[in-house]
Chain A
Amino acid sequence: MIKKLIRNIYISIRQIRWSDYRWANLDKTKILLIFRFFGHPIDTFNDIKYEKRGSLAIANILLLLFFLEGIVNYFLVGYLFSNNEAQSFSVWPILLRTVGIVVLWCVMNWAMSTLFEGKGTFKEIWMATCYSLTPMVLFSVPLNAISNVMTLSEAMFYNAVSGFLTAFSLVLVFLGMLVVHQYTVTKTVGTVILTLAMIVIFIFLVLLGFSVSQQIVAFVSTIATELLRR
């Protein structure tokens, strides 16, 4: 079974069309699509799903930028607005917070949508989610750069803008799911809540499995030492 899984992963990697990522082969007008989110978010998701205006390559690049900007912002944010320390920097929490949560969301939402008659494919869910990161990808670096010359009395503006960017992205994710799965609003709300619950359960199971396996290892190694020493 594991052999089959590895083989499947190998096949999917081989199926990636790397040529899509070459600048010359990219339809440049597709880049302009991401700016339409600020005026007509639902239309934009419609364009991605039905008009083939979306691009998997651009979606992946957006996610990569989101991750890289997470690293940049760690160092860029003004002293008054963070407790970040260069010596305690670690890339893994940022990777989990950006790529990890997107992957988890897409997988869980895909699992939910198959149960609740969602019309979206995994590729569409992935693209809609990654495209929804646009506001944060475009504006979080300028905001954090400006925060270096902001004082505590302007902290309100910083918090308001960064909160707005996050909220905008979350709304886009919601609208994306609504369009991609052809759901009603109530059904979207329901599946979003279920997806979040699934994510929580998944994290719980991972932690549980981790601690149980740790205890099993400890148990077996204790027995092994006992047998060896007797």
Chain B
Amino acid sequence: MMKLRLKQTRLFAGIIAFGMILSPMTVQAKTTRNYIYNEYAEAVKAPSAYVCEQVLRGREIGIGDFSGISDIYVNEQIYISDTGNNRIVVLDPEYRLVRSIDAVIENGASVPLNRPQGTFVRDDLLYICESGNARVIAVDENDTVVRTYVKPDSDLLTEDFDYRPSKVVVNSAGSVFVAASGVYQGILQYDNSGTFLGFFGANKVEVTMDVILRSFWQNIFSQEQRESLVRTVPTEYAGIFIDEENMIYTTTISATESQVKRLNASGENILFYPGSNGGILQKGYNRNNFGDQEVEYARGGLRPSQIMDVEVDEDGIIAVLDAYHGRVFVFDREQNPLCIFGGSGTQNGDFQEASALGRNGEEYLVADSVKNSVTIFQPTEYMQDIKSALREYSLGNYARSREYWEKVLEKNAGLAVAFKGVGRALYLEDDYGEAMEYLRRGDDRYYYSLALTGFRREFLRDNVIWLFPTAAAGAAAVYIGLRAVYRALIRSGEKGKGRR
């Protein structure tokens, strides 16, 4: 017996030792850095959703190194704003060089571009933010300037204000929306002909303790003292994006919540869940936070995500770029987290200073203004399944959506959105009991409640024959039992009195 036990111990030790030899290899595996947030807002491991397929460098394309890329725009062709080299590099969807724009023709003369930033194409016109010349220009296919959009003559912008437009989008009616650095009044809106219409959708001042204290002191201080105080202003927009429905998405770098906004025609954010998940309890995941839920503590301070850029695809999948950590966060249209990829570092697929995000079909492009490269990320089979599941669900093919979600769950059994997806599909297929299990795992209280309603209704319908007589009999039994107990208690009290 003793010998056997010794043998077992040895075997056990051997397994542990073998495991220790193996473990460094698993740590180095590619998937370990990939994570996702669960419904408790805890980071958990996840399979890799996007892999770095190729890194584009200017030299390899044949036009010399990039310098400080500030924007990527994709519309049939890929426009890379090579700000440091004062040019815009145009590639075809296979990443081959089409041309490079260094100068535009204005009034018959060739004028070199001066620090071009954001670009946009609408109706065969290329809009370029020329931050060095404080204007946005619209050029046709011959590089001739058709229209210019200059610094507006507004009371809100002072005379000596350095106007540097950084991002531009144009809606289908031809209205031009410009985000400029240092402009906190909102997005500048111009009409078709280049006339300034006004500011649109300004960020609101976030009420922090600092702001409250400052407004308190402002009531006490004299005029001169007041002027020396830092002014409380809302923050500027860093990136803008327009979808097919002419809805404008904006990003705010310094915000810690609602970093991405979807603005309606009157400039209100409609991409927001009020309260905690629309008045319903939630386990801790904040759907209005597009960055890291667990904020990193490094170099003596909290380092929240700085959401720089946003891309929304035709299925409503939102991808945002965290410039500080070099990560891309991908969400579905209900702001459920799907995957997180990238990171800071020097390897391929990591970034030193991520500056812009673009989307070419299935692939995401991330520009790095220090590494001077554009990294191309391709979705893995896992991510393809997630996307197919979301697409099938929105098309109404619930059974096929469920099959895809089940494939996803085989690879990642901790993805809340997959449980939600299976649960909702089951609910819509009227399998309420099973649906409730999945919806609970996915923390989807609204649909859980719907499934519970259905479950209750079916239960009552199937069991009404015996349920009501049993309930009546039960109530009668309880009544009789309680009466008996009551009488026994009274009787024992009388007996006690007699004894005393």
Interface size for B (C-beta < 8 A) is 21
Contact B489 A149 (CB under 8 A): no
Partner of B448, one of A28, A80, A149: A80
Contact A79 B440 (CB under 8 A): yes
A222 at the interface (CB under 8 A from B): no
Contact A80 B490 (CB under 8 A): no
Query: What are the residues of chain A within 8 A of B452 when measuring CB–CB?
Result: 80, 149, 151
Q: How far is the CA of A31 from the CA of B485 in the complex (A)?
A: 11
Contact A152 B449 (CB under 8 A): yes
B496 at the interface (CB under 8 A from A): yes
Partner of B493, one of A27, A82, A85, A153: A27
Q: How far is the CA of A107 from the CA of B445 in the complex (A)?
A: 42
B492 at the interface (CB under 8 A from A): yes
Query: What are the residues of chain A within 8 A of B283 when measuring CB–CB?
Result: 83, 85
Contact B453 A32 (CB under 8 A): no
Across the interface, name the chain A residue whose C-beta is closest to B276: A83
Contact A29 B440 (CB under 8 A): no
- Which residues of B from 444 to 486 have beta carbons under 8 Å from A? 445-446, 448-450, 452-453, 456, 486
A37 at the interface (CB under 8 A from B): no
B15 at the interface (CB under 8 A from A): no
B393 to chain A minimum Cβ distance, whole angstroms, is: 22
Given that A79-B440, A81-B281, A83-B281 are contacting pairs, would A152 and B489 also be in contact in the complex, using a CB cutoff of 8 Å?
A: no
A161 to chain B minimum Cβ distance, whole angstroms, is: 18
Partner of B486, one of A27, A32, A151, A152: A32
Query: What are the residues of chain A within 8 A of B453 when measuring CB–CB?
Result: 151, 153
Q: How far is the CA of A7 from the CA of B284 in the complex (A)?
A: 49
What are 24 residue pairs bridging A and B, where the CB atoms are less than 8 Å apart in the complex?
A28-B488, A28-B492, A29-B489, A29-B490, A29-B492, A32-B486, A79-B448, A80-B280, A80-B281, A80-B445, A80-B448, A80-B449, A81-B281, A82-B281, A83-B281, A83-B282, A83-B284, A151-B450, A151-B453, A151-B456, A152-B280, A152-B445, A152-B446, A153-B453
Given that A149-B456, A151-B453, A152-B280 are contacting pairs, would A32 and B448 also be in contact in the complex, using a CB cutoff of 8 Å?
A: no
Query: What are the residues of chain B within 8 A of A79 when measuring CB–CB?
Result: 440, 445, 448
Q: Mark B256-283, 1 if CB is under 8 A from A, else 0.
A: 0000000000000000000000001111
Q: How far is the CA of A82 from the CA of B486 in the complex (A)?
A: 36
Q: How far is the CA of A149 from the CA of B446 in the complex (A)?
A: 14
- Which residues of A from 68 to 96 have beta carbons under 8 Å from B? 79-83, 85
- Which residues of A from 17 to 72 have beta carbons under 8 Å from B? 27-29, 31-32
- Which residues of B from 89 to 109 have beta carbons under 8 Å from A? none
Query: What are the residues of chain B within 8 A of A31 when measuring CB–CB?
Result: 489
Residues of B within 8 A of A (CB): 280-284, 440, 445-446, 448-450, 452-453, 456, 486, 488-490, 492-493, 496
Query: What are the residues of chain B within 8 A of A32 when measuring CB–CB?
Result: 486, 489-490
Q: How far is the CA of A29 from the CA of B495 in the complex (A)?
A: 11
Q: How far is the CA of A28 from the CA of B453 in the complex (A)?
A: 43
Q: Contact size class for A?
A: 10 to 19
A166 to chain B minimum Cβ distance, whole angstroms, is: 19
Query: What are the residues of chain B within 8 A of A81 when measuring CB–CB?
Result: 281
B42 to chain A minimum Cβ distance, whole angstroms, is: 12
Query: What are the residues of chain A within 8 A of B486 when measuring CB–CB?
Result: 32
Partner of A151, one of B281, B449, B496: B449
Q: How far is the CA of A13 from the CA of B85 in the complex (A)?
A: 87
Query: What are the residues of chain B within 8 A of A83 when measuring CB–CB?
Result: 281-284
A223 to chain B minimum Cβ distance, whole angstroms, is: 27
Contact B496 A153 (CB under 8 A): no
Q: How far is the CA of A111 from the CA of B280 in the complex (A)?
A: 43
Given that A79-B440, A82-B281, A83-B283 are contacting pairs, would A29 and B449 also be in contact in the complex, using a CB cutoff of 8 Å?
A: no
Query: What are the residues of chain A within 8 A of B456 when measuring CB–CB?
Result: 149, 151
Q: How far is the CA of A151 from the CA of B453 in the complex (A)?
A: 6
Query: What are the residues of chain A within 8 A of B446 when measuring CB–CB?
Result: 152
Q: How far is the CA of A82 from the CA of B448 in the complex (A)?
A: 13
Given contacts A32-B489, A32-B490, A83-B281, 5 further A-B contacts (CB under 8 A): A29-B492, A79-B448, A80-B445, A85-B283, A153-B453
B434 to chain A minimum Cβ distance, whole angstroms, is: 15
Query: What are the residues of chain A within 8 A of B492 when measuring CB–CB?
Result: 28-29
B274 to chain A minimum Cβ distance, whole angstroms, is: 16
Q: How far is the CA of A27 from the CA of B489 in the complex (A)?
A: 9
Across the interface, name the chain B residue whose C-beta is closest to A81: B281
Q: How far is the CA of A31 from the CA of B490 in the complex (A)?
A: 10
Q: How far is the CA of A208 from the CA of B117 in the complex (A)?
A: 56
Across the interface, name the chain A residue whose C-beta is closest to B490: A29
4 tightest Cβ-Cβ pairs between the two chains A and B: A29-B493, A152-B449, A28-B489, A151-B449
Across the interface, name the chain A residue whose C-beta is closest to B456: A149
B257 to chain A minimum Cβ distance, whole angstroms, is: 20
Q: Mark A151-165, 1 if CB is under 8 A from B, else 0.
A: 111000000000000
A82 to chain B minimum Cβ distance, whole angstroms, is: 7
Query: What are the residues of chain A within 8 A of B450 when measuring CB–CB?
Result: 151
Across the interface, name the chain A residue whose C-beta is closest to B436: A79
Q: How far is the CA of A81 from the CA of B445 in the complex (A)?
A: 10
B482 to chain A minimum Cβ distance, whole angstroms, is: 11
Across the interface, name the chain A residue whose C-beta is closest to B496: A27
B476 to chain A minimum Cβ distance, whole angstroms, is: 18
